Structure 1
Amino acid sequence: MSKFSFAPPELQVAFANKLNTFRPQYLQEALAATVQRLDIENLDSQLAEFVPKDDLSTLAAAGLRGELLFAVPCVLQDNPQLLAYYRLLLGYSQKQFYGGASGFGVGHFKSMEEKGRIGTAASNDLQDICQALCASGSLMLRGMKELDLKVSKSGLEDLSLLTLGPQLRGGANNVRGLLGISNVFEVIEDIVGHARLSDEDDDKTRITIKSATGRSVLIRFAADPDIVVQEEVSPGRYINAVAIEVKAGTDASNIHNRIGEAEKSHQKARKDGYAECWTVVNVGGLDMAKVRAESPSTNHFFTLAGLMSKEGDDYENFRSRLLSAVSIAAKPSIED
């Protein structure tokens, strides 16, 4: 038995599963399947039109076909999702490629990658984007030649994977964040669910309870902050009671950035009249003096692990404050 213990590589297993999905959609496997369906004479004609002869010769010398690096209209018309293949190969993130102010002005092509559909505007500009992609491909090939780097099929696939990695990790972080919010909501439901109005039993996004004052209290998912508690003072009119931000990332080196994000959300919540702002984090052992200085708008900090354990000081503090905020008694114990 080793004296060392590492966290389960769950993220890598998820990446492996996602990569298995991506290969026949966006990577060389997808390109090969598409080329098999095409008229090769037409494909070669377009490659000759869009790609400098010297570049095609360089690839041919390495035993590679031109479409492996260079995008031409007939390929993207047959399989629009292959736009992602060329984007990844050339090292452009989705934000850099499709973004508004920070992008290349090609946002109208995004549906090709995501939905496999070429809209009217994208269809009209298809030759232009192919020309631009081919120009970037030429620059990349020239740079590799200047550094005397070998051009190979596997090497080009590796370049695509280098771009795909951060994209997958970003997606995984988003999933982890949503899961963390759901976990906190489940803890809340366990604490106040006994007072939930019966006609909302099937709604998984909101909880309405009747407080001791006779008023309805709504607890629901929100965009920013993540979870809110609101008290209805008259039909359709609410007082904002509690705003809850959940930062479920486990990377301790990035926790202070996430605390800063929570602070921005809570500053907005304060302007919207929320009386209390709570932040849930998924990293333990924090310097609480430093964390409080980074988010002075946060009234109380809690840990996700503490809440999900449903015991201990962290959980009991959260539980008592939530019950006080919604003005209800705790659910009866089994002994009662």
Structure 2
Amino acid sequence: MGGEILIPDPEVQVQFAEELRKSKRLWLIDALRSAVKGMRISELDAELHRFVPEESLGILAAKGLRAEVVFPVPLLLRTEPRLLGYYRLLCGHSQKAFYLPEMGLSPFKSMETKGEIAKAVSARLDDLCKAFVEPMGFLVSEIPQSQLSSKLFHELTLLTLGPQLRGGALNRIGKAATARVFESIKGILEDYASESAEGRLELVNPAGRMVTVEFASDPDIVVRMTMGDGNLRNVLAIEIKGGTDISNIHNRLGEAEKSHQKARKSGFRECWTVINVPGLDDATARVESPTTDRFYQLRELAKGAGPQFEDFFHRIQSMVGI
């Protein structure tokens, strides 16, 4: 009853706030309104009547809504290519699914991501907008008319955007966590380093052997030693899981386990996992990743002091032979 209450910092929400600010300017309904404001409405209306079915125009008009809130037209996409992202979000598709080669949409991706229209893509904008007619018509006809509003369409885009932002935020958190662990190792070894660059550290230990510490993709950080015969020894593999969501830690540890199993097959002597979920004990973590030799808490390493950091400090020195 009297145990410590731990609430993780809302790191993801802080990143969401910044990404949402950017998204409003690029892909959300604010961006659409901004683009329309600078256009000749008569020309826009002419294209809407050319592409949008009368039934859909009537349903939207009855609710006081302009059709471009739902249907893209070439004139609008040429004015602001990034708005393809708005219509993708409104249609409920992630970037990954929408731009799959088999969907025929991958050539258009640079419109959303870079705001660019290649000449070959520009020639196909009519086809792109025609392809939206049926799914967007379905959206308009199947949602009860009493619910139709620009606010609803905005909220639908946000529902699609959320997982996209979360995936990006978690990726950035992971990279930041890896960088923090690397900086901890760098701080331990920098007095011995012969060469240091972003994501890579080299040193020669007292036995005259070259040791490298560097970022990798899987695992996140590796330590290797060049032996007397010139062969490389895989000394240490470190997996870093920087997310603070305890409900997802079992999946993250499962990912670490797969990585460490591969590392073992590659000859790594030691496998460590750094996590960022306060209160998770080693016994529970070891159930999910039995291949991990040692678990460390990211926050404890970042302190640069304390029992976990001291253990990490001495073991790193031992691993590289100093």
TM-score relative to the length of structure 2: 0.91
Residue 56 of structure 2: aligned partner: 55
Change (3 A) 1:124 1:273: farther
Equivalents in 2 of 1:298, 1:227: separation in Å? 14
Residue 167 of structure 2: aligned partner: 170
Q: Is 2:303 the partner of 1:319?
A: no
Change (3 A) 1:273 1:4: closer
Question: Is contact 2:274–2:298 with CA below 8 Å preserved after alignment?
Answer: yes
Residue 106 of structure 2: aligned partner: 107
Higher mean alpha-carbon deviation, 30-39 vs 186-195, is at 30-39
By relative contact order (CA 8 Å, sep 6+), the higher-ranking structure is: 2
Equivalents in 1 of 2:152, 2:270: separation in Å? 54
Residue 25 of structure 2: aligned partner: 24
* Matched residue type, 1:264: K
Secondary structure of the corresponding residue to residue 234 of structure 2: strand
Equivalents in 2 of 1:235, 1:179: separation in Å? 36
- Between the two proteins, the alignment pairs up a number of residues equal to 319
Equivalents in 2 of 1:310, 1:89: separation in Å? 47
Residue 334 of structure 1: aligned partner: none
Secondary structure of the corresponding residue to residue 136 of structure 1: helix
Residue 279 of structure 1: aligned partner: 273
| 1:321 CA drift (Å) | 1.6
Q: Is 2:154 the partner of 1:153?
A: no
* Matched residue type, 2:43: N
Deviation by residue 1:204-241 (Cα, 9 ceiling, x = unmatched): 21110111210110001111111110112379852211
Equivalents in 1 of 2:47, 2:293: separation in Å? 63
Change (3 A) 1:232 1:173: same
Alignment of 1:138-217 (within 5 A): 138-145=137-144, 148-197=145-194, 200-201=195-196, 203-217=197-211
| Divergent runs of 4+, >6 A | none
Equivalents in 2 of 1:149, 1:244: separation in Å? 55
Higher mean alpha-carbon deviation, 161-170 vs 228-237, is at 228-237
Residue 290 of structure 2: aligned partner: 296
* Matched residue type, 1:131: K
* Matched residue type, 1:63: G
Q: Is 2:205 the partner of 1:220?
A: no
Equivalents in 2 of 1:4, 1:276: separation in Å? 33
| 1:9 CA drift (Å) | 4.3
Equivalents in 2 of 1:295, 1:15: separation in Å? 30
Secondary structure of the corresponding residue to residue 184 of structure 2: helix
Gaps of 5+ in 1: 329-336
Deviation by residue 1:81-135 (Cα, 9 ceiling, x = unmatched): 00001111122111221245xx734222211111111235533442222122222
Secondary structure of the corresponding residue to residue 15 of structure 1: helix
| 1:141 CA drift (Å) | 0.8
Residue 333 of structure 1: aligned partner: none
Alignment of 1:248-267 (within 5 A): 248-267=242-261
* Matched residue type, 2:106: G
Equivalents in 1 of 2:79, 2:268: separation in Å? 53
| 1:10 CA drift (Å) | 4.6
| 1:175 CA drift (Å) | 1.3
Change (3 A) 1:187 1:4: closer
Equivalents in 1 of 2:132, 2:227: separation in Å? 58
Equivalents in 2 of 1:109, 1:292: separation in Å? 46
Match among 235, 238, 255 for residue 241 of structure 1: 235
Residue 127 of structure 2: aligned partner: 128
Question: Is contact 2:8–2:244 with CA below 8 Å preserved after alignment?
Answer: no
Equivalents in 2 of 1:45, 1:236: separation in Å? 73
Change (3 A) 1:109 1:235: farther
* Matched residue type, 1:260: G
Question: Is contact 2:12–2:170 with CA below 8 Å preserved after alignment?
Answer: no
State, as a whole percentage, how many aligned pairs show the same letter: 46
Gaps of 5+ in 2: none
* Matched residue type, 1:151: L
| 1:68 CA drift (Å) | 0.7
TM-score relative to the length of structure 1: 0.88
* Matched residue type, 1:191: I
Change (3 A) 1:149 1:237: farther
